[in-house]
Chains A and B, each alone.
Chain A
Amino acid sequence: MAALDQTQVKEGVDQETVDAVREVGGAYKYGWETDIEMEYAPKGVNPDIVRLISEKNEEPEWMTEWRLQAFERWEKMDEPDWAMVSYPEIDFQDQYYYARPKSMEVKPKSLDEVDPKLLATYEKLGIPLKEQMILAGVEGAGDTPEEGRKVAVDAVFDSVSVGTTFQKELKEAGVIFCSISEAIREHPELVKKYLGSVVPVSDNFYATLNSAVFSDGSFVYVPPGVRCPMELSTYFRINAENTGQFERTLIIADKGSYVSYLEGCTAPQRDTAQLHAAVVEIIVEEDAEVKYSTVQNWYPGDENGKGGIYNFVTKRADCRGDRAKVMWTQVETGSAVTWKYPSCILRGDESQGEFYSIAIANNMQQADTGTKMVHLGKNTKSRIVSKGISAGKAQNTYRGLVSMHPKAKNSRNYTQCDSLLIGDKCGAHTVPYIEVKNNSSRVEHEATTSKVDDDQLFYCRQRGMDEEEAVALVVNGFCKDVLQALPMEFAMEAQQLVAISLEGSVG
């Protein structure tokens, strides 16, 4: 990509990093699949499958029970239909709920024992599972310590966690970062206490299904007063065909702690749609702060809407203690259908919730995404900045709730949702719910919809840019508020993604 080739690469930057970023250019670059021998549970979902998943993860009895109860509830629930998305009916019995590489049958004790094919997969994705410094060295990295920045990675491949890096170093700091299956075995008291406490088992159709069949995911516990020494990240890769990925993430930030968490995801290019239904629960105690950033780049399907991932995700953070703070940042560029509302429950007094989102839908993509800010405590603050971009024949909806409860005195919310339309066959929609039940709180909501400004385009073109470049630049400017909120490595990737996703949408 021209824009990338011109990027000034700072001296001393690892060629690998540059290449990894270059990988991002062009069309969907993660559409390849890893040829690896897999082991599947039988197709479909029923109590036996639930038990099987539980057994494969060597879970204690209480966990199996918990899953079975969830399954029982799920059977009585209906798929929600209120979102502005349409897709063929999903046959929940016609897919695999558990798939793991054969080589993972015996849990590798360290990363050295992991199947090289798996390591190569992540290498190719630009997520080296080696305990090495991820050299940032891109613009804005001025504050990076000389030895570079460390990011611990938990890599999830289909239904299982392949490995987690930097575990030892994190342990020294007191931080627990491991796969959720390991946490259930090693830290049952924490899991028992917090699992399902933010997103209850019967929260919604997909969350309930997830509770029954989640196969793996990440677990983070940051003890009181600890500032997590490095950024944590989980990389989700769907590889097997006809397989749903159901992962569960549980993050607990104890009093006065801080953690920044990154999430990335990709999948191979296939003709049939695949289901991804994750649940993320975050507990933020007094004075703690959690930053959760996502770059969602699941395979979006082809230009005719064939294939792609159905991304039905429930994410919620509970600010339990006073002055707790949570920040969601998401860049949604992938998935055929997105149904995702990362939310904040602001329970503690003076707690804060922030939501920054860029949702880009091109071709036949459909995105229905937004947030909920539930203000329960006094002097709570929330801010929502959502930028939706539609191109091709895509539909992009912002759906959100801001609720000020009677006891949430002196609370503030500011919401800004902007939509940008590129082309006359796409749609952009805004569905905010605003509920104000006391008068000392102030709520402001603003939304605009417009097309790419002709004057701005003209200006760029007159300076010698071609039309696509000019659109990318204008769009990047439109997204600036959100991109700025991302951790630096992500911001770089996201900026590239914004350009790629819109390729071919001009004219």
Chain B
Amino acid sequence: MALPEAKQTATEARLAALTLPEGGCLAAARHAALSRVQTMGLPGRRDEYWKYTRPDTLVQADVPEAAVFETGEPPMFNDFDRLKVVFVDGVFDAEASDDLSLEGITIERLADAEKKDIHWAKDLYGVLEARGQTPVQRPLAALNSAFATDGVVIHVTGKPSKPINLIYRHADTGSDAILHHVIRVDAGAEATILENGPAAARFNKCMEIDVADTGSLHLVRAQGRDHERRAATHLFARLGKESVFKSFTLTVNGVLTRNEAVIELTGDDAVAHIAGACVGDGDFHHDDTVFITHDALNCESRQVFKKVLRNGATGVFQGKILVKEGAQKTDGYQISQSLLLDDDSQFLAKPELEIYADDVACSHGSTSGAIDEEGLFYLRSRGVPKAEAIDLMTLAFLAEAVEEIEDGDVADAIIARLQGWLARRH
């Protein structure tokens, strides 16, 4: 089917500004991804899946400039014992990064892996992304698979002693970064990945994760520290039997953020928890789009998303639990809540369930409202100043999402950030 004219033009303009990396073992995957983009066309504002978020600036050929933001505070996870992998404006920085060797894990730069004739990443690169294109199209992810210029391929074979920290620095006001990571977790292996930083003026990131039976992966990311940046990120995860995947995202600031997570539970008894806390002030648009497919017995999925919005900020949540025929004993839970601190902010949500199995327990809830006056009154009657009481209640509101982080130190670091954000707004 031919694309609508506007979409065709926009897609062609964007593609004309990019060059497809040639050669290497991923060439076929990149070409296939390009043809997916050409067939689907890049998202337009009339697409149902972009009903609440305007994709224009993520799609257009020119990068909207973003000033580099200096916070003055040390970067997230700075005090952690971790293995640093640094990207500046979407380019791997070997000097700033640590030595990539660590027991229980193999980390390679995407460009190096690509040069080899045979590499395990070939079986995953663009593969999970392509699977995630149905039933809903995600053209920006296909664009990423085709044109990604950098990234890492990580193979978790054991239990590495420290987390891997992917750090994204922003230095150039007009940078347009496309990063693609592939992560494979072997049976019984376990790792934690931390991500932080704004990355670039415009950031398109795609992460493909394959967790084998009984494997386990924890992902914690902190997006922010930059007011004007725009980001579209995709996470595709496929979970095997008894595997565990837990992800938490903190988003602070940023003009536009669209985080998509596409999780497929393909082995029995797998567990997936996807959580997010976001705080937005002013010119801030944040979109969490989650699609979880249950395709095996007795799996558990949780989606917990909390948004605190003020000064005209917009929060979007589109979440879906799809339970395929035969995926009996599924336990699916989804909650999306927003706390609107003033009258200008808005929350737009589309929490969906699509269920084809009868012996399941799936529920979803979505609420939106202001700070509870009674709770506020209670705290104030106990002598807590108003600003502090609001902070306390806001943190309590966000707590359910932050509690999804298993590592206590990481959770504390996230809470400290949230406290700082609130304190700066007194």
Contacts and interface: CB of A to CB of B under 8 A. Distances in A.
Given A435-B346, A436-B348, A441 B369 contact: yes
A400 to B, nearest CB: 10
Given A439-B345, A443-B369, A450 B361 contact: yes
B342 interface: yes
Contact of A434 (B350, B359, B363): B350
A147 B346 CA distance: 55
Nearest to A82: B48
B400 to A, nearest CB: 16
Interface stretch (A196-204, A425-433, A462-470): A425-433
Contact of A447 (B325, B328, B349, B363): B363
Contacts of A445: 349, 351, 364-367
Contact of A424 (B350, B358, B364): B358
B368 A443 contact: yes
A319 B263 CA distance: 43
Contact of B343 (A419, A430, A431, A438): A438
A57 interface: no
Nearest to A396: B355
* Band of interface residues on B: 35 or more
A124 interface: no
Contact of B357 (A406, A424, A435, A442): A424
Of residues A84, A439, A446, which shows the largest number of chain B Cβ atoms within 10 Å of its Cβ?
A439
B359 A436 contact: no
A443 B337 CA distance: 10
Q: Give the 6 A-B CB pairs with smallest separation, nearest first.
A: A439-B340, A421-B358, A442-B369, A436-B368, A430-B353, A434-B349
Given A436-B348, A440-B343, A443-B367, A424 B359 contact: yes
B388 interface: no
30 contacts: A82-B48, A406-B343, A424-B358, A425-B325, A427-B355, A429-B352, A429-B354, A429-B355, A430-B353, A430-B354, A430-B364, A432-B349, A432-B366, A433-B350, A434-B348, A435-B347, A436-B340, A436-B368, A439-B370, A440-B343, A441-B368, A442-B367, A442-B368, A442-B370, A445-B366, A446-B364, A447-B363, A448-B361, A449-B353, A451-B359
B353 A429 contact: yes
B360 interface: yes
A267 interface: no
B140 interface: no
Contacts of A305: none
Contacts of A427: 354-356
A307 interface: no
A174 interface: no
B369 A439 contact: yes
Contacts of A447: 351, 353, 363-365
Contacts of A422: 358
A4 B249 CA distance: 56
A14 interface: no
A444 interface: yes
